[in-house]
Chains A and B, each alone.
Chain A
Amino acid sequence: MEEYIISLEDLKKLADNLIKEGTDLFLPSPDNSRFVRLKKADELKLAPEARPSDISAKQAAFPKCDPVLFYKRDKSTVELKDAEPSANQVLFGLKPCDAAAFGIMNKVFNWDYKDNFFNKRLENTLVIGLACTYSDDYCFCTSVGLSPVSETGSDIFLVRLSDAQFAARAVTDKGIQFVKKYSQLFAKGDSSKSKPALESIKGPARKFDSKKVKDWLDKNFETDFFNPVGDTCLGCGQCAFVCPTCHCFDIVDEDYSYSEGRRMKNWDACQFSLFTLHASGHNPRDNQAKRYRQRVNHKFKYYIDRFKEILCTGCGRCSRGCPVTIDIGSIVTKIGNLT
C-alpha cells in the first residue's frame, strides 16, 4: 500500500481546495456531538484522541430525512419528480468504527432492490479515516472484527505522527486517485513512519467472542434474559439514531404547499413501541424486553444469518448516549459467557 506524509497545514490547504471546488466537507463538531460541515479550512481539526462523536457519520449516506420524490397535485392528476441525492462530499477524520459502517449497511441497501439514494451518496463520498487512540468502557471494535487501526471503509487512512504531521495511506482506488489529484500536498512516505504510532494503540479493554454470542442467540429466542433491560429501557430512538449501522426507516409524505410536497425516508427505530403495532391493536413486540431482544438479535444474529456481517462496529455510541446507560457491550459480553 502507498503511504504518504501530509502535514496539518497541507491538510488544511487540501480542505481549502475542496471547499473552493464546491465539495462538502464534514467532520465532528467542536462539541463532538455530530458531524457538521466545515466552513473554513483553517478550522480543520483531527482528533484521534476524541471519543466517537455522539451521533455517527451515517447521515452522509443515510440522512435522517431523505427525500425520494416530489409530487404536485392538480385536481385529479399528480405529477412526480425524482429527488436527486446531493453533490460530492468528503468525510474527514472518521474513526474506523464509523468508516466500516457504510460497507455493512451497503449489504441491506443492495441485497435485492438497489437503494440508489444510499448508493449515489456513498459513491459521491470520499472517506478519510483516522487511526483512533481513544477507548473507553463502551468501545468494543476489536470484538466485532475491527480495530482502532482498521482501514475498512476508508478511502484514505490517516495516522497521526505528531500534532502537525500525519501519515496518509491510499486504501482504495478512489483514495489513490484522490491522492494523485492533490499530489503536490502529499509527500512520499513509507510504513516505517506509521508503524510505531499504530503499534502504540492498544484498543478497548472489552473483549467478547461474537461467535459465542451468536451461538447463544441461535438457541435462545424465548428467554427472560432481556427482562431486566426491558425494565429500564425507555423505548426511545437514541440508540438506533446515533448508531452508524442502524438503518430502519419510515416512509412519510409531507406537503409544503397546498398542492406540493415530498415523500421521504425518515429514520425509525425498533425500540419505539409503535414500530410494529397493527391496526387491530395487536403488537408482535408488545413489551420493551422483546424490543431490546430484537435490537441485540438483529445486530448479533439476524444480520449475520442474512448478510454475513455483524450489524455493529463496536463504537459504543448507543450505550454512552443511552439515557439509562443500557450498555450493549456488557450485555453481549454476558451473553457470550452464557454458552
Chain B
Amino acid sequence: MENIYKPYLMEIKEIIDETVDTRTLRLQFRSEEDKKRFSFKAGQFAEYSVFGEGECTFCIASPPTRMDFIECSFKQVGKVTNALRRLNVGDTIGFRGPYGNWFPVEEMKGKNIVFIAGGIGLAPVRSVILNVLDRRKEFKDITIIYGARSVGDLVYKRELREWQGMSDVRTVVTVDPGGETPDWKGEIGFVPTIVEKAAPKSDNAVSIICGPPIMIKFTLPVMMKLGFKEENIITTLENRMKCGLGKCGRCNIGNIYVCKDGPVFSYSQLKVLPQEY
C-alpha cells in the first residue's frame, strides 16, 4: 500500500549556523534509490521531521541544479524546530516532499530578474537565486536586494559576499536602522526604502519577493511605482501546514490549498484571494 505520509530518511551531513536562531542543515538521502528518484523545482517545500517530535514545513533552500545535498534553513520557533536544533551531524531526520508549486524559472528565461527578500525569507529565494546563477546565461540582469533586522540576523553571509563579488549580479544588502554595526558597509534602511533607492528597472522584468508580511505589504506599492506588473511580482505564502498533500485542511485560503496551488503566487493571484493569510 502506498503511504503518502511516509518520509524519506535523510542524514544530516553538515550544520551551519546562520544566526543565533537560524540554522542550515545539509541533508543527504540515506538510500541511494531515494536519491535517484528524487527531483524538485525551486520554490517547492517539504515536511521535515524529528521522529518522536513531529513534522514541520520548510522550503527547500538549495537549488535543483545542486543535487548532492538537500538544504533547508530554519528558525527556532517551536517544538520541532527546537528538536531539530538538538540533532547532530550523522543523525537521521524524516523528509517528505517535494510539495507545492514552484517559481516559474522557465518563464523567466531571457528576462531581468529582481530578487527581494527579508530575514529568513531569503531561504526560498536562495533556491531560485542559485538555480538562476547556475544557469546564468539564460537570464538577463539580476538584482538581489536583501535585508534583515540587524547585521546578526543576515542569513547566508558567505553567499551574500559571493554574490556581491560577482560582476554580472547586482547585490544590495541592508539592515534596519539601528541594526548596523560600526564596521557595516552595506545599506541602512528598511527593505521598501532600499528597493525604491535601488530602483530596479521593470521592463521585461520579473520580481520574486519573500519576507515578513509587513515587508511585503510596504514593498508592493514601491514595485507598482517602479512599473512592475502585478502578474510579474511573485511571492510565497506561509500558511500553517500539516500534510502538504491537500488533505488536512490546515492551509486553506478560500477554495485554495496553499500546499497544492501554492505556496508560490503572483500578486495578481493573491489579490483575488480572501484575506486569510
Chain A residues proximal to chain B, CB less than 8 Å:
68-69, 71, 73, 76-78, 80, 82-84, 108-109, 111-117, 120, 221-222, 247-255, 261, 263, 265, 268, 270, 275-280, 282, 284-285, 290, 294, 297-298, 301-303, 305-306
A120 to B242, CA, bound (A): 22
Given contacts A108-B247, A116-B4, contact A73 B213 (CB under 8 A): no
A284 x B52 contact (CB < 8 A): no
A301 x B78 contact (CB < 8 A): no
A279 x B255 contact (CB < 8 A): no
A302 x B252 contact (CB < 8 A): yes
* Contact stretch, chosen from B86-94, B188-196, B199-207: B86-94
Given contacts A297-B254, A301-B255, A302-B254, contact A251 B3 (CB under 8 A): no
A68 x B247 contact (CB < 8 A): no
Contact of B52 among A114, A115, A261, A282 (CB under 8 A): A261
Residues of B within 8 A of A301 (CB): 255
B254 x A221 contact (CB < 8 A): yes
A189 to B188, CA, bound (A): 86
Residues of B within 8 A of A302 (CB): 252, 254-255
B91 x A76 contact (CB < 8 A): yes
Residues of B within 8 A of A294 (CB): 252, 276
A82 x B3 contact (CB < 8 A): yes
Smallest Cβ-Cβ distance to B9: which chain A residue: A78
B245 x A248 contact (CB < 8 A): no
Residues of A within 8 A of B2 (CB): 114, 116
Task: Looking at the assembled complex, report how far the CB atom of A250 sits from the nearest CB atom of chain B, in whole angstroms.
Answer: 6
Residues of B within 8 A of A276 (CB): 239-240, 250, 276
Q: A80-B9, A263-B51, A301-B255 are in contact. List 19 more A-B contacts (CB 8 A).
A: A68-B3, A71-B51, A73-B51, A78-B94, A80-B7, A109-B247, A221-B254, A249-B249, A250-B250, A251-B54, A251-B55, A253-B50, A263-B55, A265-B5, A279-B78, A280-B212, A282-B213, A297-B254, A302-B252
B240 x A248 contact (CB < 8 A): no
A297 to B248, CA, bound (A): 16
Smallest Cβ-Cβ distance to A260: which chain B residue: B52
A113 x B245 contact (CB < 8 A): yes
Residues of B within 8 A of A221 (CB): 254, 274
Contact string, B246-262, partner A, CB cutoff 8 A, digits 1/0?
11111011110000100
Give the interface residue-count category, chain B: 35 or more
Tell me, yes or no, whether B49 is within 8 Å of chain A by CB: yes
- A-B contact list, 18 entries, CB within 8 Å: A69-B6, A71-B52, A80-B94, A112-B246, A116-B3, A116-B4, A117-B5, A249-B247, A249-B248, A249-B249, A251-B242, A261-B52, A263-B5, A265-B248, A278-B240, A284-B253, A284-B276, A285-B276
B239 x A115 contact (CB < 8 A): no
A251 x B9 contact (CB < 8 A): no
Tell me, yes or no, whether B238 is within 8 Å of chain A by CB: yes
Task: Looking at the assembled complex, report how far the CB atom of B19 sits from the nearest CB atom of chain A, in whole angstroms.
Answer: 16
A222 to B250, CA, bound (A): 21
A253 x B247 contact (CB < 8 A): no
Contact string, B73-113, partner A, CB cutoff 8 A, digits 1/0?
00101100000000010111010000000000000000000
Smallest Cβ-Cβ distance to B94: which chain A residue: A78
Residues of B within 8 A of A250 (CB): 242, 248, 250
Smallest Cβ-Cβ distance to A286: which chain B residue: B276
Residues of B within 8 A of A278 (CB): 238, 240
Tell me, yes or no, whether B116 is within 8 Å of chain A by CB: no
A174 to B55, CA, bound (A): 38
Residues of A within 8 A of B142 (CB): none
Please report whether the interface of chain B is mostly helix, strand, loop or mixed according to DSSP: loop
Tell me, yes or no, whether B20 is within 8 Å of chain A by CB: no
Residues of B within 8 A of A277 (CB): 240
Smallest Cβ-Cβ distance to B248: which chain A residue: A249
A253 x B49 contact (CB < 8 A): yes
Given contacts A116-B3, A279-B78, contact A284 B242 (CB under 8 A): no
B249 x A270 contact (CB < 8 A): yes
Top 4 A-B residue pairs of the complex, sorted by shortest distance between their CB atoms: A248-B249, A279-B77, A302-B255, A68-B5
Tell me, yes or no, whether B122 is within 8 Å of chain A by CB: no
Given contacts A109-B247, A276-B240, contact A76 B51 (CB under 8 A): no
Tell me, yes or no, whether B1 is within 8 Å of chain A by CB: yes
Task: Looking at the assembled complex, report how far the CB atom of A101 sits from the nearest CB atom of chain B, in whole angstroms.
Answer: 15
Residues of B within 8 A of A69 (CB): 3, 5-6
Task: Looking at the assembled complex, report how far the CB atom of B207 sits from the nearest CB atom of chain A, in whole angstroms.
Answer: 23
B53 x A77 contact (CB < 8 A): no
A302 to B260, CA, bound (A): 15
Residues of B within 8 A of A73 (CB): 51-52
Smallest Cβ-Cβ distance to B51: which chain A residue: A71
A78 x B51 contact (CB < 8 A): yes
Smallest Cβ-Cβ distance to A246: which chain B residue: B249
Smallest Cβ-Cβ distance to A240: which chain B residue: B249
A80 x B6 contact (CB < 8 A): yes
Smallest Cβ-Cβ distance to A298: which chain B residue: B252
A15 to B164, CA, bound (A): 76
A250 to B55, CA, bound (A): 10
Task: Looking at the assembled complex, report how far the CB atom of A258 sits from the nearest CB atom of chain B, in whole angstroms.
Answer: 10
Contact of B246 among A113, A116, A285 (CB under 8 A): A113
Smallest Cβ-Cβ distance to B5: which chain A residue: A68
A221 to B272, CA, bound (A): 11
Tell me, yes or no, whether B130 is within 8 Å of chain A by CB: no
Tell me, yes or no, whether B42 is within 8 Å of chain A by CB: no
